[in-house]
């Protein structure tokens, strides 16, 4: 029985650590999104993180006659990136993000975490809008 506990408990702890890493720290995907920054707010009870929304241009839907929301909700854990994006509300931005399987309180409420701002520019003239 002692031998089983000496071998079984470390293996069980190792499996638990791998499962927690896979669930919360594994980067499921990476990518770039672009659109108009709708808002960015710093909030949280204990861990203050930046939460924002990016409005992407266009109506992409698989079903004809239906509309789909092109909003991208994201979190920013880095305060310097949050300060840059805070001053860019309403502007066209490109951001690089990482997608996680689950969120952590100190990383933000979203599964998508912005890690880099690639481009910030003023939105084009209203005459270029599709509607």
Q: What is the pLDDT of residues 36-52, one digit of tens each?
A: 999 999 998 898 999 99
Q: Is the pLDDT of residue 84 over 80?
A: yes
Stated pTM of the model? 0.74
pLDDT attached to residue 2: 77
Q: What is the pLDDT of residues 30-39, one digit of tens each?
A: 999 998 999 9
Identify the CATH class of 28-128: mainly beta
Give the angle 29-98-38 at the CA atoms, nearest 5°.
Answer: 120
Q: Is the pLDDT of residue 70 over 80?
A: yes
Output the furthest CA–CA distance in the chain (Å, rounded): 78
Task: Tell me the C-alpha distance between 85 and 94, whole Å.
Answer: 11
Strand partners, 7: none
Range among 26-30, 41-45, 95-99 rated most confident:
95-99
């Amino acid at each position: 029985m002692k031998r089983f506990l000496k071998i079984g408990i470390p293996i069980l702890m190792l499996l638990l650590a791998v499962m927690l890493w896979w669930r919360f720290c594994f980067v499921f995907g990476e990518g770039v999104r672009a659109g108009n920054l709708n808002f960015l707010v710093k909030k949280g009870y204990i861990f203050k993180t930046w939460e924002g929304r990016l409005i992407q241009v266009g109506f992409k839907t698989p079903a004809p006659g239906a509309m789909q929301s092109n909003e991208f909700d994201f979190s920013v854990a880095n305060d310097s990136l949050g300060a840059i994006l805070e001053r860019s509300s309403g502007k066209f931005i490109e951001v690089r993000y990482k997608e996680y399987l689950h969120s952590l309180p100190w990383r933000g409420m979203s599964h998508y975490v912005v890690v880099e701002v690639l481009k910030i520019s003023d939105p084009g003239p209203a005459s270029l809008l599709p509607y």
